A and B are shown apart, each in its own frame.
Chain A
Amino acid sequence: MPEYIAKDEKSRNPLLVDMRSLNIRYRIPVSRIEKFYESLDRGIIMGTKCPVCGSRFFPPQAWCSECGFSGDMEFYPLDTHGHLLTFTRIFAKPKSFSGFGDYTVGIAHLDRENINVLAWIDDAIQKPEVGMEISIKVEKRKEDNATVYFISKP
């Protein structure tokens, strides 16, 4: 057999092991929401508000999907007080998160914004419960040194 043919461990069927491996890293434009990242770096989480119809958006967006306005949306700091709607602890992790320990993801409702935020739940919350009070806080995540927002204790 040529060197690129290998036997599957379980079934013993021959497989051609592709020699052309591919590593993809995307470059995603964020110029229209640059203010979000500038503020995040200062520990503040911004949403956007439509100056015409008042609709609020998180994630922030540079146009209004409700009324169709496409001028300057207003960036404003979110009132991050809210409660936890749901959560899960991820045990089977994807390849690009394989270096992380198990992590807990939740969705929180921000009471005064009527907006939901999906994020990791801070380790300080040891036993998450549906309905518990939370706030959203920006932290440097130790696993990848990334500046990220967490669902945290109020």
Chain B
Amino acid sequence: MIRMSRVGIIGYGISKFGKRTDASMYDLIWEAGSEAIKSSGVDKKDIDYMVVSNMGIFSSEELAAVVAGEVLGIKNAGLHRVEAACASGSSAIASAYDAIRSGRSKIAIAVGIEKMSEVESETAIELIGRAGDFLWEYEFFGLTFPGYYALYATAYLNRYGGREEDLALVSVKNHHYAHLNPIAHFNNEISVEDVMKSRYIASPLKLYDSSPITDGSAAVVLASEDVAKQYTDTPVWIDGIGSNLGTANLSKRSDFLHIEAAREAAAKAYRMAKIDQDKPYKHLDGADVHDCFSIAELMAYEDLGFAERGKALDMIRNDETYIGGKIPVNVDGGLISKGHPIGATGVSMAVEASKQLLRKAENGRQIDVRNGRFLAHNVGGTGHYAYVTIYSI
């Protein structure tokens, strides 16, 4: 019987996230990429495949992938850029995984990068808003990204009897953990009152319900099983990847209470990793979920099977996603407070999974590692793309 080689992460690196007026796209890639290569112990000459995730429209360099190759001094690797909107980073991991799994690559690097603050924030809002269905959502109606998720939030709170204060609890938790994470964009704790007092961006979502406009980069070095074991005794394995698409036009979704693409992606990832879909959280030690807005984290609990439909409200009200609860979620600060440099986010989730599973997270935000499994949930656009990736040691 032919046993397919597993794929493991053998090195990782991440830049400080934030409004990095001190660092260009080149500098950010260097911060994350050089750290990833150094921590892996591989000679950069042995990297034979490179994939770079970047949405790209926010910054002056059009071809981020070639920038990354040059910055890191990689010369003999295959190269491409991937885009899956906000899930681009997870699609880069999936692409590197596929290259290794097929035998086409032995050692690959996935680099996620977004330099968003090169444009002023009104323009950034415009560029992200245009990522809906341009002609039927943007041209005449000027929808923004907070706007799309606010449409979910209104429907969800109405259907399940939630209040804006419930959404605020997500931001409070994620800011709490961000203040323990040195690379996070925000390092301040906030209260429900702070969230409630912040200004509306797209009602019912307020400033503190939203992820900021962030610059950042993250990178991981991946290798096939036999190669990985030459470099480390503790690779972080990829046990499952599930991905699914959603409609371009938000109005074509069946309801605005969940993200169907994420449910499908989760089911595929659980099947691949042989995780029981009934109570999947029992087999996981923690998760990073795509909380681009507070409502998105609540929908993620349900789409991933951590809570039944409509029951995410109870989960957040009862602190079940803090460390010590049913399943810790976004103890790196999440997109809301760690930041959401679009192309880097999915790769930063792989970095966080590695840190947590190797027990290298900072004091106060290290999860209990018992099952040896961590989940990353990364949604692109308004639910246009979804990736769920399961990491293990």
Contact = CB atoms under 8 A, between A and B. Distances in A.
Nearest to B137: A118
Contacts of B256: 85-86, 107
A97 B142 contact: yes
Contact of A98 (B122, B141, B158): B122
Contact of B22 (A11, A59, A105): A11
B155 A85 contact: yes
B15 interface: no
B12 to A, nearest CB: 27
A89 B202 contact: yes
B251 A118 contact: yes
Contacts of A125: none
A10 to B, nearest CB: 8
Given A86-B154, A118-B251, A94 B125 contact: yes
B151 A90 contact: no
Interface-centre pick from B126, B140, B153 (highest chain A CB count, 10 A)? B140
Contacts of B142: 90, 93-94, 96-97, 100, 103, 105
A19 B197 CA distance: 39
Contacts of B154: 86-88, 130
A118 B203 contact: no
Contacts of B250: 107, 118
B123 interface: yes
Contact of A94 (B126, B140, B251): B126
Interface string A87-123: 1111111111110100101110000000011111000
Nearest to B154: A86
B199 interface: yes
Interface in B22-74: 22, 60
Given A86-B155, A119-B141, A93 B125 contact: yes
Given A59-B136, A86-B151, A103-B142, A92 B202 contact: yes
B333 interface: no
B245 to A, nearest CB: 13
Interface in B117-162: 122-123, 125-126, 129, 133, 135-137, 140-144, 146-147, 150-155, 158-159
Nearest to A94: B126
Contacts of B252: 116
A28 interface: yes
Interface-centre pick from A88, A119, A146 (highest chain B CB count, 10 A)? A88
Nearest to A96: B126
A62 interface: no
A59 B201 contact: no
B306 to A, nearest CB: 24
Contacts of B251: 107, 116-118
A93 B144 contact: yes
Contacts of A107: 151, 250-251, 256
Interface-centre pick from A87, A100, A120 (highest chain B CB count, 10 A)? A87
B249 interface: yes
A94 B122 contact: yes
A145 to B, nearest CB: 13
A95 B122 contact: yes
Given A89-B202, A118-B250, A118-B251, A94 B129 contact: yes
15 contacts: A10-B21, A90-B202, A91-B199, A91-B200, A92-B125, A92-B144, A94-B129, A95-B123, A96-B126, A100-B142, A107-B250, A107-B251, A116-B252, A118-B250, A130-B155
Interface of A: 8, 10-11, 13, 15, 18, 28, 59, 85-98, 100, 103, 105-107, 116-120, 130, 146, 148
Given A10-B19, A11-B22, A88-B147, 19 more contacts: A8-B21, A85-B155, A86-B155, A88-B151, A88-B205, A89-B200, A90-B142, A90-B143, A90-B146, A92-B125, A93-B125, A93-B144, A95-B122, A96-B126, A103-B142, A107-B151, A107-B250, A116-B251, A119-B141
